[in-house]
Structure 1
């Protein structure tokens, strides 16, 4: 088999929502199609990949470096031993040829987009769901037939009042979700507390609600929020400070007895290891949210899982960011804890209805 073409499109996924740090009014996404010469059931096998929301389309990196690098690679460097399918691990090595360590940034997003498409091809050629492929290769065939999913929402929006926030959360409960998440940090503390208390009026209890500050706070503010959040017994307090400020995270868990969550903006096994070493994270309590589509793909994500195992962490403490089908498949196939969806923000994906020509 061989790769005959790779196409990239940049599509808009803008929305009028905002979190504590950014609005999504100009958000974009890279979508790639890797075309092979393999046919299954009369159809050419094409793998599709895209990057998770929250990072802009890495178009230049894909078109100038990573797509040409993959197209120019020898077959022996990208195929499995018998030449019948792609080898994601070999392809990862090809993509990273000539790349210096460190400085991961948006490079990790570009590689993650291609990695997603590669795994899509692997599963299609094997004619199995990706979760089954992963379970057979890395988990002795064990598959989770159910994956817990929580509803992420509660964004700041123009004109959105407390009643509308409550109605949003009620809709999620009516859809069958038992845990919801809302944004904090984009308003003064007292206003956020009113928003939280309004949601607590409509969900069963504090363990049904998680809050997400999207890395907005300095240490003083993070601790101020922690003090006020403590009595609510929330599901978790997410990304209080900058994702690379491990000292802030370590100080936070010393002062906050509830669960914390972070990791969606850490894009390599090295950064994940530093969080575990220096961030004070508690293996039986805290949540790790690495997103494989943003962090060099599933190949790197499995390295992160192996590192976590060595450090005494269970994969059940991993809840991948992203809310897409790749996260669902890895949760079921690799035995992760749960995953997220954004059922109230489906308009963000409208731009993904694109045609490759």
Structure 2
């Protein structure tokens, strides 16, 4: 078997929202289709992938370096020992050839996007949902079909009122979520506290709020927020400072005893390891948000999970950023602590397959081949346009 084509399309996911650092009015992503020569139901098996929101589409890097390397390789070097399926590790090694260590930036997004499509195709060829394939290969064969999810929202946007913010959060609770998230750092501390109070006023017992500064604060501001936020029982205080400022993160633990979260903007196992070594993260309460779609894909994410185990961390402390079905499958197949969800934003790429509902903060994984994109009709329509299926 072999890969016969890889197609990429850059698409807008623009929205008039903003967080503390960026606005999304010109945001893009890359959609990828990996076409194989394996025929099922009269059609080639195609794997699909896309990168998470917050990083732009990486079509140029894919077209100039990573796609040609795969298509120019001997097909026999990209398949498993039996020659009947792709080997994602071999495909990853092919993409990464002639790349210098370090500098884990946009290339990690390009490789991670293609890697997602490779795993989708691999699971489809195997005739399994990806979560089952992962449980078989890297677990005990029994996936966690029920996955915790939280609703990410609470962005800043023009003309937003407190009533509109409360209505947004109520809508998530009404849809079955028990944890919601809002942005901080895009307004004054006093204004952010008023927004927090507004959200908390609509939550009931057993429901919690997480807040996310998107790396906006210097140390003094991060500490000021930590002291003010300590009055609340928050699910977490997320990414207070620059993602690579491990000293800031380590210092902050002295001012904030409740759970913190970070990691979504660390794009390699090595950077994740530095966070664990030097960032003062606490394995009994803090959360790690590494996103495979931004950090070289699942092949690298498996290395990160191995590193965490070596440092005494449970993978249940991982709740990936991104709100996509790839991380849902990883959470179910490898036993992570859950996944982010965007109930209304970044569509059609965020969210779940049609008919999947949130119940008391959890979703149940459906039996769909591969990652399950075919079960999300508005997303799959875009994918079929790219692949020609």
Counterpart-to-counterpart distance in 1, 2:101 and 2:112: 16
Quickly say closer, same or farther: Cα 1:78–1:66, change in 2 above 3 A.
same
Find the counterpart in structure 2 of residue 87 from structure 1: 87
**Residue equivalent to 1:342:** 342
Residue 39 (1) aligns with residue 32 (2) = no
SS at match of 1:294: coil
CA apart distance, 1:233: 1.4
The equivalent residue for 1:194 is 194
- Residue deviations 1:112-159, cap 9 Å, x none? 011000000111001110000000000020210200111000000111
Q: 1-side partners of 2:318 and 2:302: how far apart?
A: 12
**What corresponds to 1:120 in structure 2?**
120
C-alpha separation in 2, matches of 1:346 and 1:40: 31
- Do structure 1's residue 97 and structure 2's residue 84 form an aligned pair? no
TM superposition score normalised by structure 2: 0.90
Structure 1 residue runs of 5 or longer lacking an equivalent are: none
Aligned residue for 1:268? Answer: 268
**In the TM superposition, what whole-angstrom CA distance separates every residue of 1:165-221 from its partner, at most 9, and x where no partner exists?**
000000000000000000000001000000001001011259610000000000000
1:204 aligns with 2:201: no
Q: Which residue of 1 aligns with 2:59?
A: 59
SS at match of 1:196: helix
Who is 1:71 aligned against? 71
Q: The residue matched to 1:4 in structure 2 has which SS?
A: strand
1:29 maps to what in 2? 29
> CA offsets, 1:307-344, max 9 Å, x none?
00000000100001111110100000000001111113
C-alpha distance in 2 between matches for 1:179 and 1:75: 46
**Does the Cα contact within 8 Å between 2:152 and 2:180 map onto a contact in 1?**
yes
The CA deviation at 1:267 is 0.3
Alpha-carbon distance between aligned partners in 2 of 1:122 and 1:80, rounded to the nearest angstrom: 10
Q: Does the 8 Å contact 1:139/1:333 carry over to 2?
A: yes
Q: Who is 1:241 aligned against?
A: 241
Deviations 1:14-43 (A, max 9, x none): 001110000000000001111111012322
Q: 1:65 to 1:239 in 2, by over 3 A?
A: same
Structure 2: how far apart are the matches of 1:55 and 1:150?
21
Partner Cα separation in structure 2 for residue 82 and residue 342 of structure 1: 39
Q: 1:118 and 1:299 mapped to 2: Cα distance?
A: 10
Secondary structure in 1 matching 2:19: coil
Count of residue correspondences: 357
Aligned-partner Cα distance in 2 for 1:348–1:22: 21
- Name the residue aligned to 2:290: 290
Alignment-derived partner of residue 152 in structure 1: 152
Q: State the 1:46 CA deviation.
A: 0.5
Separation (CA, whole Å) in 1 of partners of 2:248 and 2:220 = 9
Name the counterpart of 2:370. none
User: Aligned residue for 1:281?
Assistant: 281
Alignment gaps of 5+ in structure 2 = 351-377
Distance in 1 between residues matched to 2:203 and 2:339, nearest whole Å:
19
What SS does structure 1 have at the residue aligned with 2:345?
Answer: helix
Match of 2:298, SS? helix
State the secondary structure of the residue aligned to 1:343.
coil
Residue 318 (structure 1) aligns with: 318
State the shift of 1:347 in Å: 4.3
- 8 Å contact from structure 1 (residues 206, 234) kept in 2: no
